[in-house]
Amino acid sequence: MADSSSTQDEELYLPRTVINKLIKEMVPNIRVSTDARDLILNCCSEFIHLLASEASEISEKQQKKVISPEHVVDALQTLGFHEYIDEVKQVYKEYKEQAIKHRQRGKSRLDRLGVPEEELLRQQQQLFEQARLENELHEQQQALLESQMGTTSAAIQQLNPSQELSSTQDSMQTGEISLLPQTLSLSHDKQHNV
């Protein structure tokens, strides 16, 4: 039981690797003890929980179901972290710019194809229709083949009633079916000559 609760507690914290990387970036020339790293990890997690809770309350007061960046900024203000607000707004602005560039990069790939989107949609629909027709043709061929196998099997059964139907079907499945029409015609001729 103690192991599962400690695992659940660890899930509520930031990954240690992220914290270690941040510490290394902030203070590259200073060694930080494991206890200090754990304390920083706990402080970061607690700060995030506090900020998220306050932002959640603000969004609920505004009857919103989604916490927006503005709710987070308001939460910083309410909690007394005024000095972080400008930096948070700057980071958010940079994030939005990167997101826009990423979306435009995706659009520019489409533009580089040199084919209008309407033409691409038309080609896609054409490929779907072609695949549908090929599938129908394949199903018709399967049905015809199964029908021919049934007819051949019945003809063989009439000519040679002592032979089991299952052995005939086995021979058809193993590829010996190609010899059956010749065998049928020879057997049929022999019966007429007798």
- The contacts found for 186-189 with CB under 8 angstroms, 24 or more apart, are 187/159, 187/160, 188/159
- Cα dihedral sign, 126-127-131-134: positive
pLDDT above 90 for 152: no
Are the beta carbons of 84 and 76 closer than 8 angstroms? yes
Q: Which has more pLDDT, 182 or 80?
A: 80
Would you say the pTM of this structure is higher than 0.95? no
Residue 80's pLDDT is what? Answer: 95
pLDDT above 90 for 67: yes
Q: Which has more pLDDT, 170 or 26?
A: 26
Residue 66's pLDDT is what? Answer: 94
Per the structure block, which two tokens stand in for 25?
């970036």
Q: Which has more pLDDT, 105 or 32?
A: 32
Q: Which has more pLDDT, 180 or 145?
A: 145
Residue 102's pLDDT is what? Answer: 80
Residue 162: strand, helix, or coil: coil
